[in-house]
Structure 1
């Protein structure tokens, strides 16, 4: 069952990214020469509304994961503002930012790297509850963790096991349980299905959708798999070299793409018919031959649909 995209979003966004930039490098190398600066996120702006899933797509190195990390202040933005629930989080100290961290969580791509091999998965899920003082005693903590395990489709008896005893899909369910432990409003899902078997990916995507329906979660869903993006997301933003080149309602992006890079990405989606797939030719797009002008801006091309045309 696909996502209902007919409901208009609320007027007030939950998350606002306003002209975000993140630059790495620059300055001087160890040998005294000038080190090149890499602008991973370049003047990115978008809004995410409560209960919505915004898909963020683009090739590797386009700045998707960095954008997600900057939104959660895991990386400090070079410039720009992050507004969450009406408050500007940019520049807040760690102590002032800590209460907001309860409401903003991330689920990483590789569940095994996310888990601590020296902790049981029950201890791993319970850690944020302890850090933020959400439980007062061990009994309450164990009850909360057991309930979280059941919510993500795991048997609470698994709480005493270690990460190496689980499959990839089970590990990602453990990471999702930790991500929702503090009842957050916003979750960045950073390619959470890429490292999983194809047979498991649909189960995890369905779990994300079920949790959104049950808990009212808001997602920034970063992925390469455009078919999953179409299934799960309400809106889609396409990134290229740190810039958003197109953003709009999911169906508008898939049915009426405006930027040539978006059209190239969509043309590469496999078709589950060998006869069609054999004769199909993806659209070529040479990134180096199509540099984005610095002054280029997003233009309205449809209702809620913007594209970087130049």
Structure 2
């Protein structure tokens, strides 16, 4: 669902589903299935930042991995720039890999501890043949380091020599190395100190304005989502229950779950915070029916009903 019409979405997701088998017993027989993604549809337009929010286990990160085809969907379709990429052989997917990159949640786990950070950032340039010789690679990596706020002299260092924020900057440098058109940022600030989170979000914003990329920004920090994103999609147990422009979500939330999430945002004023009461949400009594679909309640504002 998009607020914009007449334009080709950069990323299109249609009725996407991903299920995992559950197994039990001594022989590990299949006992059921978990629907991590249950028929979601949304679009990301060129240069747009779409926030994907929800509680842990709602299916946000699985959505990001399936969109990038790091995992294969059970059913549904993902398109990039109007071309369906689900089901494409990996060799044909290679050209789309240059256009779609990811920044993971844990900056240290995403790095190779046996590689210098310079070699790590240079690796996609080698794979895609964008820097045929060593001097050209080093020049490009040095420029990328400057672009994300790192000293190029750090290129010969290893991941353990950096702070969490610096490691995430290295991961961002690798993600933008091929000038992608879409970045999936999978909770990229969650593992960082609060004092560093704002710096990384500002870096994402600066890079988006400079390079014109679109983001699928997966997060649970709603204050950061409000600051960065153009639109917000709210996920609950594998389904999108509301999607709208950011300010509409924060000032005119229509779904009970969205209102519950917003009520849990801390207020930085102790006197107000002590009196504030979060809005409870009981999934069992308010869960949507399997037949429920997203309905437009105002221009660009869709709610699952």
Q: 1:252 & 1:156 partners in 2: Cα distance?
A: 42
Per the alignment, in what secondary structure is the counterpart of residue 183 of structure 2?
strand
1:108-257 counterparts in 2 under 5 A? 108-257=104-253
| 1:268 to 1:89, Cα distance in 2 relative to 1, 3 A | same
When the two chains are superposed, the root-mean-square deviation of aligned CA atoms in Å is 1.5
Distance 1:153 1:257, change over 3 A: same
Which residue matches 1:16? 12
Aligned length: 303
Partner of 2:49: 53
User: How far apart are 1:301 and its partner, in Å?
Assistant: 1.0
**Aligned-partner SS, 2:16:** strand
Q: Which residue of 2 aligns with 1:298?
A: 294
SS in 1 for 2:69: coil
Shift in Å at residue 11 of structure 1?
Answer: 1.7
1:83 alignment partner in structure 2: 79
Deviation at 1:33, TM superposition (A): 4.1
The TM-score, its normalising length taken from structure 2, stands at: 0.96
Structure 1 unaligned regions, length at least 5: 1-6
Aligned to 1:264: 260
Residue aligning to 1:284:
280
**1:178-215 Cα deviation digits (max 9, x unpaired):** 00001100000000000001110000000000000000
Describe the SS at the equivalent of 1:39.
strand
Paired residues of 1:9 and 1:49 also in contact (CA < 8 A): no
Answering whether residue 14 of structure 2 is matched by residue 38 of structure 1, we say: no
Shift of the alpha carbon at 1:38? 0.6
Q: Residues 3-61 of structure 1, C-alpha deviation per residue, up to 9 Å, x if partnerless?
A: xxxx9687221110011001111588652644220110011100100000000000000
Give the SS at the match of 1:252. helix
Change (3 A) 1:10 1:190: farther
Match of 1:4 in 2: none
| Cα 1:215/1:282, change in 2 over 3 Å | same
Contact 1:10 1:50 in 2 (8 A): no
Pairwise CA distance, 1:289: 3.3
Cα distance in 2 for partners of 1:179, 1:217 equals: 11
Q: Is the CA contact (8 Å cut-off) linking 2:233 and 2:243 kept in structure 1?
A: yes
